[in-house]
Amino acid sequence: MRFVYSSRYVVDLGGHVFPTKKFALTAEKLGGALPFLEPGMPSREDLLLAHTGAWVDKVISGRMSLQDETLMELSLTGEVSRAHQLAVSGTILACLDALRFGTGLHIGGGSHHAFSDHGEGFCVLNDIACGILKMMKESKIKRAAVIDLDVHQGNGTAQIFSKNPDVFTFSIHQEDIYPEIKQKSSLDVAVQRGTGDKEYLDLLKENLPAVFNRQPELIVYQAGVDCYQKDILGSLNLSQEGLLKRDLMVRDFCRRFKTPVAVTLGGGYSMEIQEIAALHAQTLLCFVE
């Protein structure tokens, strides 16, 4: 096992609410727990697995309209484009590691708001979809699932896989926040603001069997920590211990059913960036034990 990570995930977004420095801080907190693997740039063909040619060309060239950037809530500089392309390779490597070792660990990724033909919500390219579809294209798997426990619904992932019966998408998310218009996942569980540890964990335990009943050969776990009680973009009330129990439950289900799992970080927007990094590190270390 190893951590997949690139220092080039950290880019200067000015005063943006998305703290890219969290990737470096998470890597730092993980220390020497495992070796690190640096992803390279993906091929255009890898990006085309989940995205239209027109969108891929915009991302690679860096030439986007104001409308494109408004939807993404990001300005697409060369560094931003490179970081998001590298994250696609990172999740592909994590998927390969999952199939080889049982677990793949990506200190990045989880861009679940990226649609096939545009980006949204700080997400340029859907690394989750690219990773799964790459494994399918190479005939490494036939069926996959996404467990998305970010506070926001994975609308882009749901859209990309909406007509693919071999990929089961499961999302637990806060109902009354972004995205305003939700897509239809295979299984959506919408929760109310203020939902705390017990109710959340009970819902997770109740609904996870539906994922494994489909007998996926690979799971990508989008492990956003923006369900945390101090998050500034979400309004759920999960404690640090609650997030730990959440991650352990996903891990234990994967191990019980002997299902390979690739972990991506997803969101996290506490005012204390060190706290976000500590929560992300906690998630990854769960899957190391």
Provide the pLDDT for residue 233. 94
- pLDDT level of residue 32 (50, 70, 90 thresholds): confident
Provide the pLDDT for residue 84. 98
Structure tokens at 252: 């234990």
Domain residue spans in the chain? 3-288
Q: Which residues are catalytic, by number?
A: 113
Class of domain 3-288: alpha beta
Within 10 Å of residue 176's Cβ, how many Cβ atoms? 10
212-234 pLDDT tens trace: 999 999 999 999 999 999 999 99
Whole-number Å distance between alpha carbons of 146 and 168: 6
Provide the pLDDT for residue 157. 98
pLDDT score of 201 more than 90: yes
3-state helix, strand, coil in the chain (%, to 5): 45, 15, 45
Q: In 3D, which of 287, 49, 48 has the Cα closest to residue 167?
A: 49
Whole-number Å distance between alpha carbons of 68 and 235: 28
Classify residue 19 as left (phi > 0), alpha (psi -120 to 50) or beta: beta
238-257 pLDDT tens trace: 999 999 999 999 999 999 99
Residues 6+ apart with CB under 8 A from 158: 169, 171, 182, 183, 184, 185
46-91 pLDDT tens trace: 999 999 999 999 999 999 999 999 999 999 999 999 999 999 999 9
Q: In 3D, which of 247, 199, 250, 251 has the Cα closest to residue 225?
A: 247
135-183 pLDDT tens trace: 999 999 999 999 999 999 999 999 999 999 999 999 999 999 999 999 9
Provide the pLDDT for residue 33. 84
Provide the pLDDT for residue 220. 98
pLDDT score of 103 more than 90: yes
User: Is the CB of residue 265 less than 8 Å from the CB of residue 223?
Assistant: yes
pLDDT score of 264 more than 90: yes
Provide the pLDDT for residue 271. 83
User: Is the CB of residue 147 less than 8 Å from the CB of residue 157?
Assistant: no
